[in-house]
Amino acid sequence: MLVVTGTGTGVGKTAVTAAIAALARSGGRRVAVLKPAQTGVAADEPGDLAEVVRLAGEVTTRELRRYPDPLSPEAAARRSGQPVLSPAEIAAAATELDQTHDLVLIEGAGGLLVRYGPDGSTLADVAWALGSVLLLVAEPGLGTLNATALTAEVATARGLHVSGLVIGSWPAEPDLAMLSNVADLPVAAGAPLLGALAEGVTGLDRATFLARARAGLSPWFGGDFDSECFEKSASART
């Protein structure tokens, strides 16, 4: 199992989740993606899991709650009057999927400490309950080092292991801060850089997305991304 979290909202978690799923599926692995709480999407609208299937192909998906308001799961549940999620419920769903799949990806909502319920439960509690490692998705620009370091420090303090970091959206023309951050992000995360997905990959067709996923993710996921070459290239442009 792998828990995918981010430094915040809109950093590319769904794209990274889909890319990992696409590579695993292309390698013949049985993949499941669990989205415990989908917020900000109406019942009849496609959510993050629909995007994963569109990009990665036929993978098993499971969504436990859907709340229409674009808020944290706790706040959205409160406004909608629907039940909140507990770490135990999420862990049980992930464990069930794990019994029949080779890889289970759990995509959180927002960042690591976004609350699921009034008891203060978060994705960190889910990862701890499962004994799962974390993959941290970060944005490349100004301000990301602080958010990345805070997330990694909290994870470590809670007994979790951050296995690596992926830049969720790398632009064709990165600015100075982005180029400089390539070397500094792994230091802030205390974990290796395991990929950088090109900006706009979610707008591609499935075959092209798979090719970009392979280019943008580490061999750890079945890709060809070379962090050392990527860092040297970024450094040469500063």
Residues classed as catalytic = 35
Q: DSSP alpha helices (H): ranges in 45-143? A: 48-56, 73-80, 87-98, 123-130
Are 147 and 7 spatial neighbours (Cβ–Cβ below 8 Å)? yes
**Sequence letter at residue 89:** E
Of 190, 185, 199, nearest to 227 (Cα)? 185
Q: Which residues of 137-153 are buried (b: 16+ CB within 10 A; e: fewer)?
A: bbbbeeebbebbbebbe
Asked whether the CA dihedral 76, 203, 134, 104 is positive or negative, the reply is positive
* Contacting residues for 115 by C-beta, under 8 A, at least 6 apart: 72, 73, 74, 75, 121, 122
